Amino acid sequence: MLVDYVIWIFLGIGLTFNTLGVIGLLRFPDVYTRLHAATKATTFGSIFTSLAVVVLSFWKYLAVQYTAGLSMGVHTIIAIMCLLLTNPVGAHAIARAAHRSGVKPKVAVVDRLEEVGK
């Protein structure tokens, strides 16, 4: 089935990016660069794993009239929207809190925020 392949591809992309996010978390030197890996890669990866759920549930709804599939798909879309909203806000809060509590970037060529003395 074509739909099965689409789901496998979405899951593959999602897991690849989530894995890269974890590797980045271990490899990068300080909190800010780690946040890059932790927010971007995991948001993108989780969106694709969720899209696989959406495709599966809508396909089940359309093909075999499985009504619980519709509600599962809509709920997953709402989860994706919340993920897109809350993930950058959380990263922003962590980065700001880290900077205010004195955790400076380890390898930085410039730090304008430290210069204004917040």
Partner 1 sequence: MLAFIVTTMFAFVAYLALTAGSGDILGLWSMEEIVAGIFLSVLVGAISRNYLCRSRNYRMLNPIRWLLFIAYLIGPFFIAMARANLDVAYRVITGKIRPGIVKIDPDLKTDFGVTFLANSITLTPGTLSVDVDEENNLYVHWINIPEGDEKMAVAPIEKVCSSFPKWARRVAE
> Is 58 near partner 1 (CB under 8 A)?
no
N-terminal to C-terminal alpha carbon distance within the chain: 57
> Is 64 near partner 1 (CB under 8 A)?
no
Count of residues binding partner 1 (CB under 8 A)? 49
d(CA 117, CA 56): 52
> Is 78 near partner 1 (CB under 8 A)?
yes
d(CA 108, CA 83): 29
**Burial degree of 42 (CB within 10 A; 0-12, 13-18, 19+):** buried
Of the candidates 20, 92, 82, the one whose C-alpha atom is nearest the C-alpha of residue 47 is 82
Applying the rule CB under 8 A, the residues between 33 and 52 that interact with partner 1 are 33, 35-37, 39-41, 43-44
Applying the rule CB under 8 A, the residues between 9 and 28 that interact with partner 1 are 17, 20-21, 23-24, 27-28
Q: What is the largest CA-CA distance in the chain?
A: 62
Quote the least distance from Cβ 6 to partner 1, whole Å: 17
Q: Which residues bind partner 1 (CB under 8 A)?
A: 17, 20-21, 23-24, 27-30, 32-33, 35-37, 39-41, 43-44, 61, 67-71, 74-75, 78, 84-85, 87-89, 91-92, 95-96, 99, 105, 107-114, 116, 118
